[in-house]
Amino acid sequence: MIRRNGMVRVRVLVLALLLLSVDSSIGLSSTIRRGAMSIPVSGEVAELQSAGGSLEIGYRLAFPQPHTHLYEVTLTIGRVGRGEIEVSMPTWTPGSYLQREFARHVQDFAASDGNGQPLSWTKSDKATWRVRSGASAGNLRTVKVFYRVYANELATQTSHLDADHAYFNGTSIFMYVVGAKDQPHRLKFEPPAGWQVTTPLGLAPDADGYFTAPNYDVLADSPTEIGTHRVLTFSVRNKVHRVSIYGRFNFDEKRLTDDLAKIVEENAKLFGNLPYEHYQFLIAVQPGVGGGTEHINSNISMTSPEAFASEAGYRRFLGLESHEFFHTWNVKRLRPVALGPFDYQRENYTRGLWVAEGITSYYGDLILRRAGMLGASEYLGGLSGLLAGYEGQPGRLKQSAEVSSFDTWIEQYRPDEHSVNTAMSYYTKGELLGLVFDLEIRSRTKGARSLDDVMRRLMENHGLPKPGFTDAQLKATFEEVAGGDLTDFWNRYVAGTEELDFDAWLRKVGLSLQKSWQPGTPYANSRQEKPGTLGIRFRPAAAQSDRVVISNVLAGLPGYEGGLNSGDELVSIDGLRIDAGNAARRINDLRAGQRVIVTVFRREQLRTFELTAAVKPFDRYQITELRDAGVEPVTLRRQWLAEK
C-alpha cells in the first residue's frame, strides 16, 4: 500500500515499523498493540511514554558564518520526564551502505535546561551523548542540545556549506533522541539574508516558520538546498514538482522540466499513481562531482557542467534522474525487510540490493526508452556496452548478486586494485538479472506479463506499510508472475556465479549478441593471428606525467600469472620505452602467443618479466536483429522496447 494523503499519512503508515528499530540490547519491558500485531517496545521508549507522554522535539538550523563550513544546530526536547536522555548521530545514511561516521564532524557539544543553565553530559559511545536532565515523571523539564557540524564535502550523502550555498543530507546534520524517532520533529531554518530554502519537507513553512516531519526518518530523509539557487516547477497528475539547481547551469529550462515530467509520467503509468503530495529534484551542477541518492519525496543528483554540453552527456544525466526517481517506489516504499525500519548505528544487512539498486538501474534507461527520450538503437547500444564491461570483469565468477548485496558494507564503496578479480557490483549484476528476468517472463507468458508485473505485485503485497519482502517472498513473486518454478535459475545465477548466456535470452525477442574486437585492433581480421593481451590496465602515474603505472592485473591472464603487480611503473616492452603517449598503442599491438620482455620499476627497483601474450578477450559487443526471427519474438521485442 502506498501513501495517499501526504506526510501525515506517512506517519501513520511508518509508525509501527519505526518502533522495531529500537536497540535490542536495552531490553524489553512493554508491548504496544497495533491491530492484531504486537510490537515490543524498549525499556527506554516505555519510560519516555510513562514519564510525561510524548516529547516535543524541535530543531533550529543556523549558519551565521557560512564561509567557516559550520552548521549550528539547536535541538530542543520538551516534556522530558526522566533523569537522563540520550541523543545520537547516525553513522550511515540510507541509500549509501557505508559507515560514514558522521559524528567525526561534530564539535562544541553543549547541553542546557529551559532556563539556559548548563546540564552535565557524557559520551556513552562514538556517536551518542547522555545528558543529565534533572527531570522526573512529576517534574517535566526542557533539555536543549547545541552543537556545530563541519560540512565541507560536496557529495550527495554528506553536507556542504560555504559562502555560496548550504546543502545538507539530514543524517549528517541532525542527532535524534534515542527512543523517540517515531515522534513528530519540527525544523526551523535561520539562513542569511537573501537566501531561500528549498526542502521536500514542505512547499512552505507554517505560520511560526517551522517545517514538520512526522518522524525522524522523514526529517533525515529530506535533503535541502539553501541559497540563491534557481527553482523551476512543473506539474504531473496535479502534483507539484520543484527543481532546484545550484551552480553553473546554461541549458533550456523548459526542455529539462518537460523531460523530467516525462520520466515522472512513465513511472506513474507503471505503478498506477504518484505516492506523494509534492516532489523535489535537487541538482548540483559543479566541477568534479557526480552521483545521486534517493529520498522519500525527493532526490539529490550532482553532475558537472559538461553534462549539458552534448546530447550524450544530457542523456546520461537523464538516466541518473530516471534511476533516482524510480527509487520513489523501489527502495523508498518497497524494500528488503532488513532495510526498514533503519538502525542508524550499525550495518543493516540484506541480500536484496541487486533488486533495490540493480533492477532500478535496469529501469533507469528503459523508462527513458518508453518516454521516447532514448532511441531503440541507442538503448541497445548502451546495453551492449554494459555486457562488455560485465564480461570483462573476472569478479563476476567469484561473487554472486546476493553476496555482493550482503557485503556492500565492506566492498561496494571501498574498491581496491584487486576488486576487479573478486567482486561484482550488485548494480551491474542486478541490472543484467533484471534484463534476463524481464525477457524470460515475456517469453514464458507470450507477452502477457513482464518484470513490470513483478514490481507491481511486490508493491501490492510487500510495500509500505507492510514491512518489506524476505528473500523467499521475493523469489515466490518472480515465480508467480513467470508461472513456474525458478529454483534452478535462482541457485545458478542469483545465489550462484554461473555464467549467463545473454545471447540465448536476447534470441527470445529476436535479437542476437555479436562479439568482436574494436575496429583497428591489430590482427583482428587476420586468419592466422589473433590480438594479444597481458591482462593489465594502466593509468598515468600523476596528472601531466609521462610515467605509466599498472592499476589492475586481471586474474587468469599472463600479467597476473607471470608476476606483474598493480602499482608497478611500466618502463618498457621488448626494450621499447613506455610512456603515457604510447602505452595504449604498444600494448594493443601485441599478438596472441607473442613472447615479450616487460620491464617495470617496483618500489624503485628495476624488475624484468618474460611473458607470453594470451588471446585478447572480445571487447566490442553489438546487439543486432535476427534476420530469421519469427513473429512471436519480434512482437515481444516491440513490446519490450516500446516500438510502434
Q: Which tens digits make up the pLDDT trace of 263-278?
A: 999 999 999 999 999 9
CB 575 within 8 A of CB 583: no
Is there a cis peptide before residue 341, judged by omega within 30 degrees of 0? Answer: yes
Are 14 and 217 in contact, with CB atoms under 8 Å apart?
Answer: yes
pLDDT at 340: 83
Q: Looking at the predicted structure, is the pLDDT value of residue 32 above 50?
A: no
Domains of the chain: 56-326 (2.60.40.3650), 349-513 (1.10.390.10), 532-615 (2.30.42.10)
Please say if the pLDDT value at position 21 is more than 50: no
Q: How many residues does the chain have?
A: 644
What value does the mean pLDDT take over residues 567-577? 96
Amino acid identity at 536: I
Beta strands in 314-383 (DSSP E): none
Q: What is the mean pLDDT of residues 450-459?
A: 98
> What is the model's pTM?
0.90
Instruction: Decide if pLDDT at 41 tops 60.
Output: no
pLDDT confidence bin for 542, thresholds 50/70/90 = confident
The 10s digit of each residue's pLDDT in 114-125 is 999 999 999 999
How far, in Å, CA of 349 to CA of 352, rounded?
A: 9
Distance in angstroms (rounded) separating the CA atoms of residues 473 and 465: 16
CA distances in angstroms from 378 to 32, 371, 626, listed in the order given:
54, 13, 18
Looking at residue 395, the DSSP 8-state letter turns out to be G
pLDDT per position as a tens digit, 180-230? 999 999 999 999 999 999 999 999 999 999 999 999 999 999 999 999 999
**Cα separations (Å) of 335 from 331, 356, 540, 605?**
5, 7, 41, 52
Q: Would you say 481 and 456 are in contact if contact means Cβ atoms under 8 Å apart?
A: no
Helix axes 253-271, 451-462, angle to 10 degrees: 70
Q: pLDDT (tens digit, 9 = 90+) per residue, 593-607?
A: 999 999 999 999 999
53: confidence class by pLDDT, cuts 50, 70, 90: low
Judged against a pLDDT cut of 80, whether residue 57 lies above it is answered with: yes
- pLDDT tens by residue, 79-124: 999 999 999 999 999 999 999 999 999 999 999 999 999 999 999 9
Q: Answer whether the bond into residue 467 is a cis peptide, omega within 30°.
A: no
Rounded distance between C-alpha atoms, residue 354 and residue 434, angstroms? 9
Host H or E run for residue 635? helix 631-640
Say yes or no to pLDDT of 149 above 50. yes
Residue 45 has pLDDT above 80, yes or no: no
Pairing status of strand 160-161 against strand 548-553: unpaired
pLDDT at 408 over 60: yes
- Band of pLDDT at residue 543, cut at 50, 70 and 90: confident
